Chain A
Amino acid sequence: MASSLRCFLRTGKNAVSALQRREFHRTLPVAVQVTVRDALNQAMDEELERDERVFLLGEEVAQYDGAYKVSRGLWKKYGDKRIIDTPITEMGFAGIAVGAAMAGLRPICEFMTFNFSMQAIDQVINSAAKTYYMSAGQQSVPIVFRGPNGASAGVAAQHSQCFAAWYGHCPGLKVVSPWSAEDAKGLLKSAIRDDNPVVFLENELMYGVPFEMSEESQSKDFTIPIGKAKVERQGNHITLVTHSRYVSHCLDAAAVLAKEGIECEVINLRTIRPLDVESIETSVMKTNHLVTVEGGWPQYGVGAEICARIMEGPAFNYLDAPVTRVTGVDIPMPYAKILEDNSVPQIKDVIFSVKKTLNV
């Protein structure tokens, strides 16, 4: 109860309606509206409280309350030893974080955006991802690298890249990409509790989006398993597989298509690596059609991997048409609004691709 009170006090939104719905003596599940930002904040708060080895470091995470306010209030609550402001030196502080993880702490290393992680990518891959293998099981690296990933609005080429495919390529890393507030909270808690390096790809445009969070998800022990996709919407005609912000696009497209009698099954991957191929296969074996939707570039991307895996498994024989990939346009992100809008998948692109795949 305390955590749900905290939820609506923090967001302020729908506080009155939540109160009105609340009946203290009943056990009816009560949902509250929580933004993705607040869900991430709660996840870190709960894990910092639960395990004193957990700490957060990154640029502006402490005294500034976080560049995107995701770590708001944490420094005030936990102090300098648990919430650490670093200089603007990604390679340096990522290395320090990996070392801390090796020595027994459980760091959360924030990159202000994953574009900056390229400054530190050697630490993520060579120091974190590969070490357990190279040491034949002697040295684990329980670290979480988190931060916003992918396109934002008008931030141009160097600040808009999606890193799902790059990090998803590497054995030894787990790569998570939440969509909703529930995803964000449950998956971040799992990532922090995981004894392996996890790359946690958030999305800046989703931070302020409120979602209903179930009573269950308000518990301090609520976690979502890494490596399991979720069917957000059931359907019989076609499967849409996607992750992060594009889950919203797919659900919106599905609503439009439903009016025309096309029922889409929308699968929210939740995890990029390990990929839940089984969930995709089960769905494709029912619908016989598959469209993948992502913000990243097409070549060697998440959709490309899904296509390959489908072909290698039982679902291939159930396909009535080749798999369609909806992706970002294969160019660096332009700045001008009209160009940027045409560089990423829109809802209409999803609708178009569904119809082409179904040949309607």
Chain B
Amino acid sequence: MSVRSYADFTTQATFEIKKCDVHKLDEAPATQVVMTRDEGLQYYRTMQTMRRMELKADQLYKQKIIRGFCHLYDGQEACAVGIEGGITLSDHLITAYRAHGYTYTRGGTVKEIMAELTGRRGGIAKGKGGSMHMYCKNFYGGNGIVGAQGQIFETYNMAALWKLPAIFVCENNRYGMGTSVERASASTDYYKRGDYIPGLRVDGMDVLCVREATRFAADHCRSGKGPILMELQTYRYHGHSMSDPGVSYRTREEIQEVRGKSDPISLLKDRMLSNNMASVEELKEIDVEVRKEIEDAAQFATTDPEPPLEELCNHIFYNDPPLEVRGTNPWTKLKSVS
């Protein structure tokens, strides 16, 4: 049996990607993009890790090891990975509650993320934040409450007024909780909703499309032109959260169709294989490694102890002298340190 060496593979290839719809822009992101073998493998690994991590979270939630709210990202991997591919870790990112994917691309480890979901001391927020409140450097969470309209227009106004270098990303997965976008929005052309702010509508299932659009958007901002909007058309396989089966407001056929025709990981895999950028075995090997990483992380997340009670009152204030905190009754006085 001959072993294929890495010299057999194409080191880079050019791909045709979908043209983005533009709003108030004279140019659009390129439709011919180059991806190297290394980039492809990295995107594949990252997306696969994210996918398996979310599926593991689903399992742990059903076993009641993860509690509370859990909003899963599977289906939307190309968005987080593509965005990170177009920016750097020194840029700043903030998102809403469907945050596990971004926590990973921003530098969190699978172990830390899973241990946070299970509420253990090894969690990225020491078990105090939970699914919706994960943070790391230049990543501002993970936020549970979102103002879907009014506040965003206020922000658009100020960003445009002061020419702030901000990319506003709308991950349009077609549903706001259990309500389809058509039932909730007078206009579903979200990329145009910035009005005087230019916008792009991007195929959010194609990691290269997202990356290219993000690079374009980042250039726009970095060159002092002010804010820009990106609407990523994507899809979530799970319901809104783990308490939503996700099939009362959409059909199983629809979900299956997206999985069959537009799955971001499959799309990338097909591209790499048909351009001789990787072998089936190589990708399978990555799958095996990813699976192991997730298993190890889950093992850690289920065996790591819960945070100690001494942690209960810490982190109320930053850079402040230690503080006394009232417990559930006047005789219980607890301690808080920064």
The chain A residues found within 8 Å of chain B, CB to CB, are 59-60, 63-64, 67, 85-92, 115-116, 118-119, 152-159, 298-299, 324-332, 334-339, 342-346, 349, 352-353, 356
Contact B147 A89 (CB under 8 A): yes
Task: Take A324-B329, A335-B128, A352-B329 as given contacts and tell me if A64 and B309 are in contact as well, using a CB distance cutoff of 8 Å.
Answer: no
Pick the interface stretch among B35-43, B172-180, B203-211, B275-283: B172-180
Contact A119 B329 (CB under 8 A): no
Contact A63 B149 (CB under 8 A): no
Report the separation of the CA atoms of residues A88 and B249 in the bound assembly, to the nearest whole angstrom.
16
Does B133 reach chain A (CB closer than 8 Å)?
yes
Classify the secondary structure of B's interface with A: loop
Pick the interface stretch among B4-12, B87-95, B192-200, B320-328: B320-328
Closest-by-CB residue of A relative to B181 is A87
B66 to chain A, nearest CB (A): 8
Task: Take A63-B179, A158-B133, A336-B307 as given contacts and tell me if A87 and B328 are in contact as well, using a CB distance cutoff of 8 Å.
Answer: no
Task: Take A85-B183, A335-B129, A342-B309 as given contacts and tell me if A115 and B328 are in contact as well, using a CB distance cutoff of 8 Å.
Answer: no
Report the separation of the CA atoms of residues A298 and B327 in the bound assembly, to the nearest whole angstrom.
9
Chain A neighbourhood of B325, CB < 8 A: 329-331
Classify the secondary structure of A's interface with B: loop
Chain B neighbourhood of A345, CB < 8 A: 328
Contact B127 A336 (CB under 8 A): yes
0/1 string, B177-189, CB within 8 A of A gives 1: 1110001110000
Which one of B121, B146, B148, B313 lies within 8 Å of A331 (CB-CB)?
B313
Contact A158 B144 (CB under 8 A): yes
B224 to chain A, nearest CB (A): 33
Contact B148 A335 (CB under 8 A): no
Contact B329 A326 (CB under 8 A): yes
Task: Take A119-B147, A155-B68 as given contacts and tell me if A298 and B312 are in contact as well, using a CB distance cutoff of 8 Å.
Answer: no
25 A/B residue pairs, CB under 8 Å, sorted by A: A64-B178, A87-B176, A87-B185, A89-B148, A90-B147, A92-B150, A115-B144, A154-B68, A157-B133, A158-B144, A158-B145, A327-B326, A329-B325, A329-B327, A330-B326, A331-B316, A332-B316, A334-B128, A335-B68, A336-B119, A336-B128, A336-B306, A339-B119, A339-B128, A342-B312
Contact B249 A63 (CB under 8 A): yes
Does B296 reach chain A (CB closer than 8 Å)?
no
Report the separation of the CA atoms of residues A162 and B290 in the bound assembly, to the nearest whole angstrom.
42
Does B266 reach chain A (CB closer than 8 Å)?
no
CB proximity to A under 8 Å, residues B215-230: none
Which one of B132, B312, B327 lies within 8 Å of A339 (CB-CB)?
B312
Contact A156 B68 (CB under 8 A): yes
Contact A91 B144 (CB under 8 A): no
Contact B148 A88 (CB under 8 A): yes
B120 to chain A, nearest CB (A): 7
Chain A neighbourhood of B123, CB < 8 A: 336
Report the separation of the CA atoms of residues A269 and B144 in the bound assembly, to the nearest whole angstrom.
31
Report the separation of the CA atoms of residues A335 and B130 in the bound assembly, to the nearest whole angstrom.
5
Chain A neighbourhood of B133, CB < 8 A: 156-158, 335
Contact B309 A325 (CB under 8 A): no
Chain B neighbourhood of A298, CB < 8 A: 326
Task: Take A85-B179, A153-B68, A335-B130 as given contacts and tell me if A349 and B306 are in contact as well, using a CB distance cutoff of 8 Å.
Answer: no
Report the separation of the CA atoms of residues A59 and B69 in the bound assembly, to the nearest whole angstrom.
17
Does B318 reach chain A (CB closer than 8 Å)?
no
Chain B neighbourhood of A346, CB < 8 A: 328
Closest-by-CB residue of A relative to B68 is A154
Closest-by-CB residue of A relative to B130 is A335
Does B31 reach chain A (CB closer than 8 Å)?
no
Contact A349 B328 (CB under 8 A): yes
Report the separation of the CA atoms of residues A345 and B329 in the bound assembly, to the nearest whole angstrom.
8
Chain B neighbourhood of A59, CB < 8 A: 177, 179
Contact A328 B68 (CB under 8 A): no
Chain A neighbourhood of B183, CB < 8 A: 85
Question: 3 closest pairs, A vs B, by CB?
Answer: A154-B68, A335-B130, A154-B67
